[in-house]
Structure 1
Amino acid sequence: MRPEELAAYARDKYNMALQEKWNSDPGLFYTLNDPDTGVMLAYLMREWDPATGEELDRCDLRCGEGALAELSRPYLSPPFRMYGKKWVGITLDERTEPDVVYTLFDRAVAANGQYGCTLVLDPVPVMLNAAGNDPAGAGLSVPAGQYTDTLLPRRAGVPAAAKDPAPERIREMRRLYEYGSESPEMRAQNFCRQGRFMEDYEDDAPWDGGLFFCYYPTYHDMNTRQLRGYFAWRTRVRKGEYTDISASAAYMYVYELLNGIGAASPEESIEKIKAFEAGYLDAGFGNEYMRRYIDRWLYEFAVVNGLDPELTVSFADPEQPKRDAALAVMRKPDEHTDTEVFDALCVFAGRKLSASPVIAADKERGTHLFSEIWRYAAAHCRIEDKELLSETDLFTACFGERRKAVWYPLSSAVYLDRNRNENTDYVLNECRIYRRRGGIWRAEAYEKVNFKLSRLRGFVHAADVKLRQYLKAGHPGTARPEEAWAEPFIDAVLGADKRAMREAARQNIRIDPAGLEKIRADADVTLDRLLTEEEKRELTAPETVQAVPETDVAGKLTQVSAGGVAVPAGLALDETQFRILRLLLDGTDVSDYIKAQRLMPSMVADAVNEALADEIGDNVIICDDDRLSLVEDYREDIERLTGG
């Protein structure tokens, strides 16, 4: 910071001019004085430092030594040339924070009881003798080279101070400002106190504030021209006339509405802020960050004031309500439809799930199976959580628990929470709750930082691979070893689906005795068309099967028949189906036997599988290219059932 910046601040805000000070020491010395009392408020020095070979800019400021304890800054120190508890020294260099210096200067002005000083010419200096005493008998004794803050007489011919050009209402507003700590709460209290006082104030002065830039701007940061220009701009805005103004000043208008200044209710505040967005931001005024800040503030403002959750959600980041809604569905899938569960899975599993061949082949069935798999796994799967050192359900393993975190609503705005000591709960949805206790807000939510989406996506991938194979949809995909933990839950759902499909098919069978003869006749015609002439001749000879006892097939058939093996009680198989099963158990090709019985292989397979559905729960015979084969996984079960 340079001395010129402090001089410009004093000029713009208090109409105070920098005055050169006479001094016998080498260097440049200036003062900022109160013309009515002659009290020096600031003593600025530019001196040569022989040790560093550089000029040093320093300032003694009459703001009270308490600032040293209150503000721990490397550039603050005891005074350099003045003395007493009223003075603080400031080194003006690249480390110095202008906002801190401006605040201390405001404090110096306020402590002197003056608002709006004007140019003061050099007061008559008090000359001290070599001992540092006042030869005029004023009773002063100070160290050599130091200056007192004694009241100095006005030089003859110096005009009296001009009155502050600010309107009386603005001067009264300034007197409402309370100096103290520069905490955000204190800043907000001053802003609201002054804002309420100026709530209905109007002005017509044009904005002549130049480039006004300030973080967390308030009335106290503006000089008279800027204040009048702002209030005139606000007057027009309230009438629907939007013109450009410094972004910092525009922010201040939004701060007013957030604090209820110029609005009768929280709902009206929101309505006026939305009107400001449409009239000011949509017109191209402001900056790129303003809309982002406003949307965030509206969301936080709605929560703090307990407004309708539907209204609050409209201000949220679009991804947040979408994510919360999906979490609510996946947390309690039994309470939601297949489509809702599948859509929730898609939110976290990505676009690949909705584009799966399973969905492309049969959307309704695929949606149902994906949803059922999640429901079953969510209810039965337990995964060891290394962090919690315990087992947890699948939902928690994928999304974590709803955790509490301190929440700072409207912390990026000048805002005073007048109800901060009231305890309150705000339920935005079942996955996101805000609570205020003892003035502290906390948010309870499932946050992305705690998600383990790799686990969820692995589960979904395993389900997709299994479903492709089960429904014969698209490329079968490749199972991954690390996803094997999910397969038992997927298989359980697919097994239940097979049984349900068979039961539904059984219930839909209607036998028409009058049509049986026609079915048999049609079957004979079909078989006749499929057989070759040679096969027809073989089938017309009744002794054909018995005429080839040397073949394995004939021999085994004779053994079965000669043994008089009866179909075990409880099996829904006829003798032919039973014999086919026994032959398959022995590894015999039954194609010739099926032809001899004038049967179709696919129909035989369906009949046997249907008959054993209750016992096995899965297909035991596969028909591939009109050739039957046994499913080896069920060999022991079939041997047990058939007594083989």
Structure 2
Amino acid sequence: MDSNQLFKYVYAKYGLKFKPAVPGSTSVYVLMSPVDSGYFAMLSRGQGQSILDLKCGAMAALIRDLPGFTDPMKIKAADWVGAILEKVSEDSLKKALDFAFKLAMNGDEVNIAQNQYFYIAPDKVDDRYQAQAIKPSENLRKKHNNSLVPDRIRKMLEIYDYSILPSRGRAKNFYQQARMMADYDDDYPEFFAFKRFYPTYHDMNTGQLRSYFTWRSKIRQHVFEKTSTSYAFVYIYELLNNIGVDDAQDGYEKLLEFEGKYVRQFDISIDVYLQDWLKDYVLYYDLDEKIIKQRFASEIKRDHDYEVLHHPEKFTAQELAAVFAKKTTYWNSSKVINKNEKLFVQLLRYVWLELLDAKKYGIAYYSAFVGKPDIIEKPIFAGSVFYLRKQQVADHQIDAVRKYHFYQGKWQIHCDQQISRQRVNLNNFLHELDRVARTEFKLGRSIKPRFIDQAVLKAINAGVAEYHIQEKKAQIDQIKIDFSDLDQIRANASKTRDSLLTDEEKQLEQAEAQEEVEKQADETVKVDNEYGLDENEMFFLTALLMQQPWQTYLKQHHLMASILMDNINEKLFDEFGDVVLENNEQDQPQVITDYVDDLKDMFLKG
């Protein structure tokens, strides 16, 4: 017997249905006693087999030793036994299930034959259904003792309409009963716990009803006390149906109060459902647009990023770069991008605009690699007991991307869905942009290309070209002035001045000039750097870049030029992949011409 056959057998035999242990679960189901709603069976499906845990009382140890039976999978208790559906015989499984059912119906009494609800046919007897008188148990007789039931509760119980189909009747009956009890208060001294999936008044006995309404009376007086989770859900269901509120705005405020003073204080497990229902509430009851925006703040923030990526022409280059910084790891980890952020911010926008031109490159990059417009259907107030009274609900445009449309009890949510491997796709795009930019703008050593669609690579190159065009347009024409005559006059004046100086004055002037050069060199040196160069190495490199004297400094500090050269080349090798200093034909140290500009940017600017 497989799990589907088991479901059919249980429903045909006992009129009971397995229910998900957690709303929406497809792996764990429970079977509850009609008497007290307690579990007496739990089915676990997965990993190639299904195990049915049964509560068999004192007989569990004996049954556990039979073929196909084992220890329970989920319920770790001595009076429970597990049955592997794929291994246990159908006859043995049915007998064990019957035994567990009779125990549940008779309050776990050992001598169940004295007070059983159903006649269970013995072996080799026709087990077709036969009409049997059902003897109410003591528990059922006590469920609603008329002498203890307040008149309002009794009337509420009487209006339950059993003629409505369960699929719709449960919610409608709850709504009708809730309206009758909207202003009811109670002060019951006892407390009865309550545990039920999708709980309603109809599931409660008198003690539980009075316990609930007493607790609700305190809530309405702003006194919040811990209670059974099922009672809390019933109260939320009332508010979702606008029971006990002045209007929808009042209902929303009561839901927020309950969220803050009860859910977050006593039962945070409710929050995941409540947050979803609050969104449905503000839309269904068409609350103020400002409230809707607040409730959908996280969705609006998410959608904003997709709007920027999909329509970058509406946003600044900085806004586009900020989205890439959030959605990729490459943007923040690339040293070249960080060092040249202003360049890459502008470059990214030109390239991204080019890339999204699908007609030009024959590739719909956004919908293929970033986000795809989609329509998601979701039942309104999913997982709650809600009576749908309005058939026409206004559409709501949450933002430029997200729209809610109501159709036949469900939301049709228009939004952009994230494409699988989105982060990887965007990281690869940025890597190729970085690679092309390094070559185009001489931004350090080259990096290996990654596999990427050639259309994307064409768009990157076209975007870089567009950047150059726009930069040239933005440049202001500079006025060129011929200073050749002025320079000649200054040169002649300098010669005349030199001819008038004595030898002593010339020596003094040269000494002052040398001192000033060394002073400027000292002021130019930036000791702090990310490459590990010390003060002496920084002085030596700076002097070479500025073509200033360095010999006196090395002599005073007892340093060797060759050692400084080796140290600098070693520390900068990772950045350039090459030595940056070498000896010229006169065996004097110099900076390799190809790296002069890069080194000046690194050490002389800022």
Tell me if both proteins adopt one fold, taking TM over 0.5 as the criterion: yes
Counterpart position of 1:477 = 447
1:6-17 correspondence to structure 2 within 5 Å: none
Residue 269 of structure 1 and its aligned partner are, at CA, apart by 1.7
- Partner of 2:412: helix, strand, or coil? strand
Is the Cα–Cα contact under 8 Å of residues 296 and 398 in structure 2 kept in the other structure? no
Q: Retained in 1: the 8 A contact 2:264–2:271?
A: no
* Cross-structure match for 1:336: 315
Output aligned runs, 1:185-584, within 5 Å.
Answer: 185-210=168-193, 212-283=194-265, 285-286=266-267, 288-308=268-288, 310-316=290-296, 318=298, 320-348=299-327, 350-379=328-357, 391-399=362-370, 401-419=372-390, 421-422=391-392, 424-448=394-418, 454-473=424-443, 475-505=445-475, 507-513=476-482, 515-518=483-486
Report the residue type matching 1:307 in the other structure.
L
Question: Which residue of structure 2 lines up, in the alignment, with residue 28 of structure 1?
Answer: 113
What is the CA–CA distance in structure 2 between the aligned matches of 1:334 and 1:400, rounded to whole Å? 17
Structure with greater helix share of residues: 2
| Aligned equivalents of 1:353, 1:229: Cα separation in 2 | 58
Q: Classify 1:118/1:399 alpha carbon distance in 2 versus 1 (closer, same or farther; 3 Å).
A: closer
Q: Quickly say closer, same or farther: Cα 1:277–1:523, change in 2 above 3 A.
A: farther
1:625 paired to 2:598? no
* More divergent stretch after superposition (260-269 vs 437-446): 437-446
Amino acid at match of 2:593: D
Q: Residue 307 and residue 162 in structure 1: after superposition, are their counterparts in 2 closer, same or farther (change >3 A)?
A: closer
SS in 2 for 1:447: strand
Provide the alpha-carbon RMSD of the alignment: 4.1
Q: Specify the SS of the correspondent of 1:496.
A: helix
CA distance in 2: counterparts of 1:450 and 1:434, whole angstroms: 24
CA distance in 1, matches of 2:463, 2:150: 80
1:332, distance to aligned residue in structure 2 (A): 1.5
> What is the CA deviation profile of residues 435-469 of structure 1, one whole-angstrom value per residue up to 9, with x for unaligned ones?
12344431222122567554443222211222233
Q: 1:356 to 1:381 in 2, by over 3 A?
A: farther
For these two proteins, the number of residue pairs brought into alignment is 401
DSSP-derived class of the 2:377 partner: strand
Deviation digits for residues 599-625 of structure 1 (CA, Å, limit 9, x no counterpart)? xxxxxxxxxxxxxxxxxxxxxxxx982
Q: Equivalent residue of 2:208, what SS?
A: helix
- State the distance in 2 between where 1:260 and 1:446 align: 32
C-alpha displacement of 1:518: 4.1
TM-score, length of structure 2 as denominator length: 0.58
Listed as ranges, the matches of 1:120-159 within 5 Å are none
Greater Rg over alpha carbons, structure: 1
Letter in 2 for 1:176: I
Q: Distance in 1 between matches of 2:114 and 2:32?
A: 13
The 2-side partners of 1:380 and 1:524 are apart by: 66
Please tell me whether the aligned partners of residues 326 and 347 of structure 1 are also in contact (alpha carbons under 8 angstroms): no
Letter in 1 for 2:440: Y
1:400-429 per-position Cα deviation (integer Å, ceiling 9, x unaligned): 54222322121211112211x215321111
**Structure 2: how far apart are the matches of 1:162 and 1:486?**
77
Segments of 5+ residues of structure 1 without an aligned counterpart are 11-16, 20-25, 31-42, 57-74, 90-104, 110-114, 120-160, 384-390, 526-622, 628-644
Taking a change above 3 Å as real, the CA distance of residues 468 and 482 of structure 1, as seen in their structure-2 partners, is same
Deviation at 1:275, TM superposition (A): 0.8
The structure-2 alpha-carbon separation of the partners of 1:523 and 1:457, relative to structure 1 and needing over 3 Å to count, comes to: farther
Q: Which amino acid aligns with 1:435?
A: H
Please state whether the residue corresponding to 1:274 is helix, strand or coil: helix
Conserved in 2, the CA contact under 8 Å of 1:358 and 1:366? no
Q: TM-score, length-normalised on structure 1?
A: 0.55
Identity, in percent, stands at 23
Q: Is the 8 A contact 2:350 2:467 kept in 1?
A: no
Alpha-carbon offset, residue 431 of structure 1: 1.3
Gaps of 5+ in 2: 1-13, 17-30, 39-104, 494-590, 596-606
2:35 & 2:215 partners in 1: Cα distance? 28
